[in-house]
Amino acid sequence: MKKDLDLYFEKQNDSSKLIYTIGLLWGQISNKLDSLLYKYNLNIAKFNILMIIKHIGSKDGIQQNEISQRLLVTPSNITKLLDRLEKEKMISRNPKENDRRVKLIKISDTASSLLDEIWPYYSAEVIKITEKLAENDKQDIEKILVEWLTNIK
């Protein structure tokens, strides 16, 4: 892998190298997490949406546009994913009490239980993925990425 990166990097500037490396890293991370979630008929996108609905929406539910904003995904892509989750009976769309035009997304009891079942395995996989990094390096990387993310917005 290092040799392949060196060949690619010969012709790239530092910014391109950084973006490319982050893309490769995310590809590896998502492959590992998707392999775990596949056993539960989920992928990272569905898992993240369900986690937001469960933990941010709680019992009251959450509006679709808020899910979209939290995941930095277009509303049309969220709609497609929510359609699939609704078809799979993992979520429901319910009219908001004061404004029936607004739908609140709620997680089903079955999906909530599924997330509870998955979480220990998911958490262990995330730890395994990052275990070779020193704790202070993890904190430094997080700080840099949060700062970068804040400045991009």
Do 80 and 124 meet the contact criterion of CB atoms below 8 Å apart?
no
Q: Which residues pair with 92 in a beta bridge?
A: 106
For 49-95, write each residue's pLDDT tens digit.
Answer: 999 999 998 888 999 889 988 887 888 888 899 999 999 999 999 88
| pLDDT given for residue 135 in this prediction | 94
For 1-52, write each residue's pLDDT tens digit.
Answer: 666 666 566 767 888 888 888 998 999 999 999 999 999 999 999 999 999 9
Q: Where are the domains of the chain?
A: 2-131
Nearest to 69 by CA among 129, 2, 153: 153
CATH number attached to the domain at 2-131: 1.10.10.10
